[in-house]
C-alpha cells in the first residue's frame, strides 16, 4: 500500500520532471493536494523532502518555488556523482560478498529487454531501473552515509528525465557499461570498476549535451533572485542566493521527446 506522502511526492516529482511545473513557478499546497487526491499535510512533507533534494525552494509564508537548473548545475551534479559513485564502487569491489549480483544482472537483463522497442512509458521505466541499478550497487559499498546522499544526486529531474534524451545508441553503450562494471566487481578489481563507472557517468553527462537547448526559459522570475531568509539549514549564517529560472535554465524538458 502506498502512503499519501509518497503519492504527493511522486505527483510533484513527475510534475517537475515533465515540465508541468516549470522552474520559477509556485507550487501551491492546495493545488498539489487536489491533484494528488490527498490533503495538504502529506503535500507539505513531500515539499520539504524535495527541498532537501534541491528541487524546490520553500520560502516561509510564501510557498514553494521550483528551482531552475543550468547546464552548469548539470556539470556540478555529475561531478558529485563521479566522486561518490566511484568511491562506492571501489569499496564494493573489496566487499564482493555484499554485492547482490543476481538482482543486478536481472536489472541489466530487464533494461536490455526493454530498450529495443521502448516507448515513452518504457523510457520512464528504464530511468527507474537505472536508478535502482546504481542504488543496489552502492548498497554494497557498506557506507550508510553514502546511501543517505544518493537520493539527492540520483533523484534529480535530469537523472530521471535523461532517458528521454539519450539516443538508443547511447543507452546501449550505457548498459554495456553496467555489465562491465559488474564484471569488474566479480573480478574484485576496484580500479577497473572505478574506471568504467567514471566513463559511464562522463558519457552520460556528455550525451545530455543537447538537453540544454530543450529547456524553455521560465516565464516567472526573470532576473528574480530570491534570498531565502530562514531556510531550515544547519548553518546559522544566511542561506546562499539561489537564482531561479532564466539564464541558460534547464527546465526539465517536456514529456514529448525531442
Q: Which residues bind a copy of itself (CB under 8 A)?
A: 3, 5-6, 9, 41, 44-45, 48-49, 52-54, 60, 72-73, 76-77, 79-80, 83-84, 87, 103, 128, 131-132, 135-136, 139, 142-156, 230, 232-237, 240, 242
Note whether 64 binds DNA by CB under 7 A. yes
Contacts of 161 (CB under 8 A, 6+ apart): 17, 127, 252, 253
Cα 120 from Cα 133, distance rounded (Å): 20
Window contacting DNA (CB under 7 A); options: 28-36, 75-83, 149-157, 199-207? 28-36
In three-state secondary structure terms, 26 is strand
Among 3, 168, 209, 216, which residue interacts with DNA (rule: CB under 7 A)? 3
Among 54, 63, 190, 195, which residue interacts with DNA (rule: CB under 7 A)? 63
* Alpha helical stretches, state H, 94-119: 101-114
Nearer to a copy of itself, 122 or 132 (CB): 132
In three-state secondary structure terms, 148 is helix
In three-state secondary structure terms, 98 is helix
Among 16, 27, 67, 82, which residue interacts with DNA (rule: CB under 7 A)? 27
Strand partners, 58: 64
Cα 230 from Cα 237, distance rounded (Å): 10
Residue 233 site contact among a copy of itself, DNA, none (CB < 5 to 8 Å, cut-off depends on kind): a copy of itself
Cα 244 from Cα 155, distance rounded (Å): 19
Q: Nearest CA to 174 among 195, 203, 152? A: 203
Nearer to a copy of itself, 89 or 150 (CB): 150
Query: Which residues of the chain form contacts with DNA (CB under 7 A)?
Result: 1, 3-5, 26-30, 38-42, 44-45, 58, 60-64
Amino acid at each position: 500500500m502506498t502512503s499519501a506522502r509518497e503519492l504527493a511526492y511522486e505527483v510533484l516529482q513527475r510534475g517537475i520532471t515533465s515540465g508541468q511545473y516549470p522552474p520559477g513557478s509556485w507550487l501551491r499546497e492546495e493545488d498539489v493536494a487536489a491533484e494528488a487526491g490527498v490533503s495538504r499535510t502529506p503535500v507539505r512533507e513531500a515539499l520539504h523532502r524535495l527541498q532537501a533534494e534541491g528541487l524546490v525552494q520553500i520560502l516561509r509564508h510564501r510557498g514553494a518555488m521550483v528551482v531552475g537548473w543550468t547546464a552548469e548545475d548539470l556539470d556540478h551534479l555529475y561531478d558529485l556523482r563521479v566522486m561518490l559513485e566511484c568511491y562506492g564502487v571501489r569499496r564494493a569491489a573489496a566487499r564482493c560478498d555484499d554485492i547482490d549480483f543476481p538482482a543486478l544482472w536481472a536489472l541489466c537483463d530487464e533494461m536490455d529487454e526493454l530498450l529495443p522497442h521502448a516507448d515513452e512509458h518504457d523510457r520512464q521505466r528504464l530511468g527507474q531501473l537505472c536508478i535502482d541499478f546504481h542504488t543496489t550497487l552502492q548498497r554494497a559499498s557498506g557506507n550508510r552515509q553514502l546511501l543517505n546522499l544518493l537520493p539527492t544526486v540520483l533523484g534529480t529531474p535530469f537523472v530521471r528525465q535523461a532517458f528521454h534524451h539519450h539516443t538508443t545508441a547511447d543507452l546501449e553503450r550505457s548498459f554495456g557499461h553496467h555489465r562491465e562494471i559488474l564484471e569488474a566487481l566479480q573480478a574484485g578489481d576496484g580500479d577497473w570498476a572505478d574506471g568504467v563507472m567514471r566513463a559511464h557517468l562522463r558519457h552520460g553527462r556528455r550525451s545530455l549535451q543537447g538537453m540544454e537547448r530543450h529547456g524553455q526559459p521560465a516565464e516567472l522570475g526573470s532576473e528574480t533572485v530570491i534570498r531565502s531568509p530562514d531556510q531550515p539549514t544547519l548553518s546559522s549564517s544566511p542561506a546562499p542566493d539561489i537564482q531561479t529560472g532564466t539564464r541558460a535554465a534547464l527546465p526539465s524538458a517536456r514529456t514529448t521527446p525531442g
